[in-house]
């Protein structure tokens, strides 16, 4: 087979303690999966099932990278998240079997153009450009389940320039990882290489050029992102 143009580069995560890499196919994200965050965004967590949006795989950014402040916004926000990497695909996955599909876990940061998101919500339009922009998915080292086990609890926090902005526990997820996988797989067929950003706790807030943002999850370590100059 020949290609009309050069093939795009394969997006991947680096695996902790290994020279291997984890190829990434799709990035799914769960919206408002911590009760306090759902409330701070004006939603009722007791009434709403999980909902999802996507980021392109090439939005991934490695630990320690500098992310240029994106164009089209004056309100770039951080969102600390646990990331799940799918190793075994499937559709209609039962909750009791869902964790068997997990290859590993990582620390993520769902960067968001909040003003674009707010405008889209107000007039009922999609969020794509609020969530799926270039460099919008910083993600740290991928830790295999064989090392970490399945993470059902553990501290999750985010600091900006050393000041704590977000602090919670994975046990506070409204929809735990197994539920998220089961529900999402009822909507789309999951495949090896898919990532799921599982939602952020309360305390989301703005980032400006020069900020250093650090997300930490107990058992997974830290993800550090530097915010660079504005582009465009």
Residue boundaries of the structural domains of the chain: 12-230
The strand pair at 137-138 and 60-61 is best described as parallel
| DSSP code, position 101 | G
CATH class of domain segment(s) 12-230 = alpha beta
Handedness of CA 28, 145, 137, 62 (dihedral sign): negative
What's the angle, vertex CA 125, arms to CA 165 and CA 47, rounded to 5? 60
Distance CA 45, CA 24 (A): 30
* Alpha-helical segments (H) within the chain: 35-40, 114-122, 128-131, 145-148, 177-185
Determine the pLDDT at residue 156: 97
Contact yes or no for 200/36 (Cβ under 8 A): no
Determine the pLDDT at residue 34: 82
Distance CA 151, CA 5 (A): 42
| DSSP code, position 139 | B
The strand pair at 27-31 and 195-197 is best described as parallel
Determine the pLDDT at residue 55: 98
Provide CB contacts within 8 A for 230, sequence distance 6+. Answer: 68, 69, 71, 209
Mean pLDDT by 10 residues, the chain (232 residues): 93 97 98 72 68 96 98 97 98 98 98 96 93 98 96 96 97 93 97 97 96 98 97 70
Contact yes or no for 213/78 (Cβ under 8 A): yes
């Amino acid at each position: 087979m020949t290609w009309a143009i050069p093939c795009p580069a394969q997006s991947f995560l680096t695996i902790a303690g290994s020279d291997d890499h984890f190829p990434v196919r799709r990035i799914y994200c769960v919206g408002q999966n911590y009760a306090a965050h759902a409330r701070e965004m004006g939603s009722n967590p007791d009434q709403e099932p999980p909902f999802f949006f996507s980021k392109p795989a090439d939005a991934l950014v490695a630990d320690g990278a500098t992310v240029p402040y994106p164009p089209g916004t004056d309100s770039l926000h951080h969102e600390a998240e646990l990331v799940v990497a799918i190793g075994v695909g499937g559709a209609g996955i039962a909750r009791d079997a869902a964790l068997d599909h997990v290859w590993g876990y990582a620390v993520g940061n769902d960067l968001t153009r909040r003003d674009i998101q707010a405008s889209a919500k107000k007039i009922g339009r999609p969020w794509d450009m609020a969530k799926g922009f270039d460099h919008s998915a910083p993600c740290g080292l991928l830790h295999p389940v064989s090392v970490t086990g399945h993470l059902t609890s553990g501290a999750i926090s985010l600091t900006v320039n050393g000041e704590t902005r977000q602090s919670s526990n994975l046990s506070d997820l409204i929809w735990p990882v197994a539920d998220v996988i089961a529900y999402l797989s009822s909507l789309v067929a999951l495949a090896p290489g898919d990532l799921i950003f599982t939602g952020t706790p309360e305390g989301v807030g703005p980032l400006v050029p020069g900020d250093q943002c650090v997300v930490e999850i107990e058992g997974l370590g830290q993800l550090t992102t530097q915010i660079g100059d504005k582009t465009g």
